[in-house]
Structure 1
Amino acid sequence: LASERFGNAWMYLTLCFRALCCKGPPPPRPEYDVVCIGLTGAGKTSLLSRLCSEGSEGIVPTTGFSIKAVPFPNAILNVKELGGADNIKKYWSRYYQGSQGVVFVLDSASSDEDLEAARNELHSALQHPQLCTLPFLILANHQDKPAARTPTR
């Protein structure tokens, strides 16, 4: 009985000491669910790898989807990256539920035909009932390439 009291007293003393002298664990950061879409080759996977401070070697196009937690100082973005191949795009809408934002990545150095296809996919996403009220970030990737278009071109 005495050892049990000593154990409880020790645990209480330890908790009090930690509360008074130690900062304790940091408060949890809010998490947001974001969907990342765009055509194949737009740079979605490279973008997420860079945001997560991962290496860029061996990056292959996403076949299906992947989920990455992207940490920021005040929040965590749980990003569902959806593959952009034609046989996968038809399933994008199955992954929209629960999203709180959208990142649409396009290759600013792609052909006119591919930009038109990206525009059509963007308009389709903007009109989708589960996405139409969400914040959208449209990222014009590959600005470092000579053929990259500017916002006016």
Structure 2
Amino acid sequence: MNTRRRITLGLATLALTGGLAIAGGAAASAAPTATAAAASTDDGTVTSQSGWSTTISAAYLNSHHKKWVSSTFVPPAGGVVGGFRCWNNGDGGKARLRIYNVETHQWIGDSGYQDCNYRYKYVSADKYRPGQGLRFVLQAQGNAHTTRVAEETAP
């Protein structure tokens, strides 16, 4: 039940934050853009308070072995929800989003490979301690396509 509530909240939050941000290849290869509510720490991690999103181009994914890794970020306690949306022009491309705990070196969330059909897919995790750094890892399977990745905090 909690997972359903978190996913529903993530959907509502993403719907309220606005439409699709279209970025060029240079912007997609940069680190995710954090909102004004995020602050950098001394060790280079980003403290996330209200989430962020970024768009990764197909060209970037193809030139990086169909893989994108976010910067390390520190979500507040209570859980984190990652969402992604990709489109495939009908060629059967798939993608998955995983959550990696940088301190314990463990995967704490995995969406599994999902069809790129322009619908948001979500993965949530709450198996981390406050202050631990996390990363999102996006992997494409088949033909790589432009993908939007977003991070939201769970209630």
TM-score clears 0.5: no
Structure with greater Cα Rg: 1
- More helix by proportion, 1 or 2? 1
TM-score, normalising length: structure 2? 0.31
More strand by share: 2
Higher relative contact order, chain-length normalized (CA < 8 Å, sep 6+): 2
TM-score normalised by L of structure 1: 0.31
